[in-house]
């Protein structure tokens, strides 16, 4: 088979066979490293200790597991919203800045990727402890009279997860904002729109592909987040990933842990399908308007 068979007639672009050949190693990796382990794990949830859906019925019959799932959804939603409000101004600053300032902002966004999530989470544990900087600062400015409990709370989990996941919100928004021609803003100003109206009616709608892409990326990642809730959260504020780890490590209950994974996978798949139905992923990822 010649190389020309993998090219389109114009000789410049790959044919469908060429694209399939290039993508084959990726799909093989996904199948071996993700799909096969996931299917094997989910099969355990319905075959052990006996064939049936007893493990899933246990999730439905025990209210605490439903509360954990709802708490996970709430925290993931809250982290996504906070990341959006913090990331949008940063993305706008990246687009509007130039020279050394643009390099500095970009470095601040990318540098966290060079350190472990565990290190960043441990740093928040140091900051939020009773004798940490945050408590000392709050006492210094008179907001509190004595150290308060900040660590091992839902607030600590939300703040730390927002810090860790915010870069995943900044980059898609930055890509969408960068594709907006500057002439649009000047045209809005010429038509009499002020900065706020121009942002609401011009910039924000055109940036929505990046906003939606970053939001779904952060939300789905937060649903299965483990390290930060495990280190900064409390047993009373447990999320589903921590619950799965507890079932595996402490109780060695693999079938029930597999059922929890199945429920989480179902939620992630359903949310992804809803977003893909309402919003086109090619627009979200490509930042096109």
Q: Give me the CATH number covering residue 147.
A: 1.10.3720.10
- Residues 57, 54: Cα–Cα separation, whole Å: 5
Higher pLDDT, 183 or 208: 208
Q: What is the pLDDT of residues 40-91, one digit of tens each?
A: 888 998 888 787 788 888 888 889 998 999 999 999 999 999 999 999 999 9
* Domain assignment present for 117: yes
DSSP helix/strand/coil, 14: strand
Tell whether 167 is covered by a domain.
yes
φ, ψ of residue 13 to 5 degrees: the values are: -115, 150
Enumerate the β-bridge partners of residue 7.
Answer: 14
| 235-270 pLDDT, tens digit each | 888 899 999 988 988 888 889 999 999 998 888 888
Number of C-beta neighbours around residue 109 at 10 A: 17
Residue that is written with structure tokens 């101004």 in the block: 89
Axis crossing angle, helix 154-178 with helix 63-96, rounded to the nearest 10? 40
144: left (phi over 0), alpha (psi -120 to 50) or beta: beta
Q: Determine the pLDDT at residue 12.
A: 58
Residue 14 forms beta bridges with which residues?
7
The answer as to whether 21 is a domain residue is no
Q: In angstroms, rounded to a whole number, what is the distance separating the alpha carbons of residues 238 and 240?
A: 7
Q: Work out the mean pLDDT of the chain and round it to a whole number.
A: 84
Q: Dihedral, CA atoms, 181, 184, 186, 188, nearest 10 degrees?
A: -160
Q: Report the distance separating Cα 153 and Cα 129, nearest Å.
A: 11
Let me know if residue 46 belongs to a domain.
no
Do the domain assignments include residue 31? no
Structural domain tally of the chain? 1
In a domain, 42, yes or no: no
Q: What is the residue range of 272's domain?
A: 54-286
Q: Is residue 196 part of a domain?
A: yes
pTM of the full predicted structure? 0.83
More confident residue, 263 or 195: 263
Residue 75 lies in a domain: yes
Dump pLDDT digits (tens) for 130-159: 888 888 898 888 888 888 888 889 999 999
Residue 288 has a pLDDT of: 46
């Amino acid at each position: 088979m010649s190389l020309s068979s993998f090219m389109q007639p114009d000789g410049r672009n790959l044919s469908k066979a060429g694209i399939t050949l290039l993508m084959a190693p990726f799909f093989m990796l996904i199948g071996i490293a993700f799909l096969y382990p996931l299917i094997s794990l989910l099969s355990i949830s319905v075959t052990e200790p006996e064939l049936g859906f007893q493990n899933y019925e246990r999730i439905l019959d025990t209210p605490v597991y439903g509360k954990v799932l709802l708490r996970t959804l709430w925290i993931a939603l809250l982290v996504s919203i906070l990341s959006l409000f913090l990331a949008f101004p940063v993305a706008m600053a990246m687009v509007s800045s130039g020279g050394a300032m643009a390099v500095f902002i970009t470095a601040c966004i990318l540098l966290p990727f060079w350190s472990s999530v565990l290190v960043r989470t441990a740093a928040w544990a140091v900051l939020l402890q009773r004798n940490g900087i945050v408590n000392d600062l709050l006492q210094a400015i008179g907001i509190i009279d004595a150290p308060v409990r900040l660590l091992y709370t839902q607030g600590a989990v939300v703040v730390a997860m927002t810090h860790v996941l915010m870069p995943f919100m900044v980059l898609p928004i930055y890509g969408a904002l960068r594709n907006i021609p500057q002439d649009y803003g000047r045209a809005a100003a010429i038509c009499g729109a002020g900065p706020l109206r121009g942002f609401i009616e011009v910039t924000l709608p055109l940036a929505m592909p990046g906003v939606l892409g970053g939001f779904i990326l952060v939300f789905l990642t937060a649903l299965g987040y483990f390290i930060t809730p495990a280190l900064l959260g409390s047993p009373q504020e447990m999320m589903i990933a921590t619950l799965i780890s507890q079932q595996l490590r402490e109780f060695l209950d693999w079938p029930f842990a597999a059922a929890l994974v199945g429920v989480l996978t179902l939620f992630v798949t359903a949310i992804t399908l809803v977003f893909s139905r309402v919003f086109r992923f090619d627009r979200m990822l490509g930042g096109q308007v």
